[in-house]
Amino acid sequence: MDSSLFARVEPQLQKIEDRFLELEALISDPDVATDGARMAAILRERGKIAETVSLFRELKKLAQEIDDAKQELANANGDEGMRGLAQEVLEELQPQWAPKERALLSDFTKDPDDGIASAIMEIRAGTGGDEATLWAGELLRMYSAVCDRRRWKVEMMDLTPSAMKGGVKEAVLNIKGEGAYAALKYESGGHRVQRVPETESQGRIHTSAATVAVLPEATEVDVRITEADLRIDTFRSSGPGGQSVNKTSSAIRITHVPTGLVVSCQDEKSQHKNKAKALKILRTRLYDVERQKQHAERSSQRKLLIGSGDRSERIRTYNFPQTRVTDHRIKVNLHNLQAVLDGELDELIESLAEYDREQRLQDLAGGL
């Protein structure tokens, strides 16, 4: 049985299955069993490819059954009974090919980080002054509502409020729950708002923006950080306007010397807890740096996919006068602005995921 797309990727799929068998053997190795970190890495890698291997095996089995039925049909000669039976089997098996192949290819082209349950979301006020910080605050409340609807657990990692009531300069969230990263990754980018600010006396519509970045949460297995690469500073945390909210130096600033990445955390009163949160954010950002490098290498050979996570790209406009939400990547307009702000993002998330799947399959078919 042959299919141009399946035939094109079958050698790569076979390598994945071979690797799966290697990992299965390693799990049974007594030396590996006593090494907790190595075992965790092996189980994680196996988990990422298990579904692909299962679908590949199903399709190979179906291909063999179809080829066997064709062979029986060819060998039937004048035996009408055998010929009729082989034809029945063939007619039952062949319609199964297309959906099974599509399921396999969709899985094969998916983002390998989709299986990571937890995500780090960063929301930052962009252009627009005070209005931008208010908009960032509204996005924070919108995504909190999305998480409530889906029963994902949200932990505030760091929050820098603005002087405006309800305004946010920067917020970092740790979102835990099945499918959190896979669903929210499409929210990465620039979110533009068009409305009349409360401070506007002339009734003019202003445009301001905030940026969102959604990263798969990295673990110690994914990224190893050595203390020698870190510079750790402590300082007193403070609130808007410089108002002291902590009289002890519990806030933490960590600089990763090799990359220059800097992470600050002051949300907790405990220095130990702030350090743990800062390290989690740093680990995730380091993991993202590597992901972006890999993405840049792929993009030099094929078109950019919407799941790239480029926060400089304007992805969505929220127009208050027209109660309209426009997603610029998929050219979709929704006239339910308030519902979206209340966390009803399912329609957008599903449309973006489907579009991404189609783009990846087209990318594979075009060989770009």
pLDDT tens digits, 290-345: 877 766 654 443 344 444 444 557 899 999 999 999 999 999 999 999 999 999 99
Are the CB atoms for 49 and 57 separated by under 8 Å?
A: no
Fold of the 4-108 domain: Methane Monooxygenase Hydroxylase; Chain G, domain 1 (1.20.58)
Which residues in the chain land under pLDDT 70? 1-4, 199, 201, 220-222, 237-248, 294-312, 366-368
The pLDDT score that the predictor gives to residue 201 is 67
Q: Considering the entire predicted model, what is its pTM?
A: 0.74
Q: Where are the domains of the chain?
A: 4-108, 114-221+306-362, 227-293
Fold of the 114-221+306-362 domain: Alpha-Beta Plaits (3.30.70)
Q: Find, among 84, 102, 104, the residue nearest to 92 by Cα.
A: 84
CATH 3.40.50.300 fits 227-293, yes or no: no
Cα four-point dihedral sign 104, 108, 114, 115: positive
The pLDDT score that the predictor gives to residue 1 is 46
Are the CB atoms for 215 and 287 separated by under 8 Å?
A: yes
Q: Find, among 279, 264, 205, the residue nearest to 233 by Cα.
A: 264
The pLDDT score that the predictor gives to residue 366 is 67
The pLDDT score that the predictor gives to residue 138 is 97
The pLDDT score that the predictor gives to residue 238 is 62
The pLDDT score that the predictor gives to residue 358 is 86
Listed in sequence order, the residues at least 6 apart from 144 whose beta carbon sits closer than 8 Å to its beta carbon are 154, 343
The pLDDT score that the predictor gives to residue 239 is 54
The pLDDT score that the predictor gives to residue 235 is 83
Are the CB atoms for 229 and 355 separated by under 8 Å?
A: no
